[in-house]
Amino acid sequence: MAGSLTDYLLLNYDRHALYDRPDWYDFDYIGYKAEAPFYHGVIERGMSEGQVFVELGAGSGRLLQDLLRAKVKCHAVEPNIHMLKACQKMARELSAIEVFSSECAKAHDFLGPPEDPVGFIAFPFNGLLHIHTLAELNEALQHVFQRLPPGGLFACDIMAPAWEVMEVGSVEWGRLDERVSPQTGEPVWTYDRCRFEPATHLMHSELRFIEEGASRGVELYYAQRMWTYQELLGALHHAGFGVEEIYGDVDFAAFDENSPRLLVLAQKPEG
């Protein structure tokens, strides 16, 4: 029987940075693959034989799973050691080690695959929101540009800035929702809150999980820079990319400035 939000607020929570807990990240997101057709489509039509797909901020390998199963050559770049280890474990479990390489690095300093040439680099699923300043965004995109061959492709997707929260400043604990634990089959309750910091444009979010009947839950925190679409498109242009395709949602809807997401495919000019 579910308690109320007031009941859950009285319980104790162990606090962790979101990406230090790949188990809880996967609990929340592993089944969500709505943006995969965008990235997989580019891999199918945009990469040549022998080239490698590089995922920046690959996390626990949510989007790499199906590619590794299909024996597409993949290189995972991930700065959080807990997420990276989860990703490497997943590649071993899929017996995909011969098509998989990885490194603990960030978008602005990764080396790339040790042997084969890069064809396509992606920074999916709001990964760019973890780059917090314009100087760092420019540095990262310029580094990506340098790592690509002429004609090489880069893609990313970000959500729209949370304008409503940004306007009011903060939203208190709420959005109580029920999930089911894959381990126990028991209900798990989740709720969250967030606070916008105007000086840095950072949205600080906290997310709680509490299993049915437990007296102690988990609290995860993370901060995302609320990039506007214009800022990201401007930084891509600044790095030298040309925009090839642009969509307003995961269903390939036409893009406009009120779109819920921006999915963009950019190309380094030939020659």
Q: Determine, following the binding rule CB under 6 A, whether residue 130 of this chain makes contact with ligand SAM.
A: yes
Q: Nearer to ligand SAM by C-beta: 8 or 106?
A: 106
Of residues 166 through 225, those in contact with ligand SAM by CB under 6 A are none
Tell me the window of 76-84, 174-182, 240-248, 249-257 that interacts with ligand SAM (CB under 6 A): 76-84
Here the contacts of 175-179 (C-beta below 8 Å, separation 24 or greater) are: 176/5, 176/8, 178/2, 179/27, 179/28, 179/209
Note whether 59 binds ligand SAM by CB under 6 A: yes
Nearer of residues 8 and 140 to ligand SAM, judged by Cβ: 140
Q: How far is CA 223 from CA 24, 203, 206, in A?
A: 17, 5, 9
| Cα torsion angle, 255, 256, 257, 259, sign | negative
Q: Is 42 in the site for ligand SAM (CB under 6 A)?
A: no
Q: Is 75 in the site for ligand SAM (CB under 6 A)?
A: no
Residue 247 engages ligand SAM in binding (rule: CB under 6 A): no
Residue 4 CB, shortest distance to ligand SAM, in Å, is 30
What are φ and ψ of residue 229, in 5° steps?
-60, -40
Task: Report how far residue 128's alpha carbon sits from residue 232's, in angstroms, rounded to the nearest whole number.
Answer: 9
- The secondary structure element, H or E, covering residue 98 is none
- Asked if 19 interacts with ligand SAM (CB under 6 A), we say yes
- CA neighbours closer than 13 Å in the CB half-sphere of residue 85: 8
| CB 11 to ligand SAM: min, Å | 27
> According to the binding rule CB under 6 A, does residue 103 interact with ligand SAM?
no
In DSSP terms, which residues pair with 100 in a beta bridge? Answer: 74
**Interface positions with ligand SAM (CB under 6 A):** 19, 29, 56-59, 62-63, 78-80, 83, 106-107, 124-127, 130-131
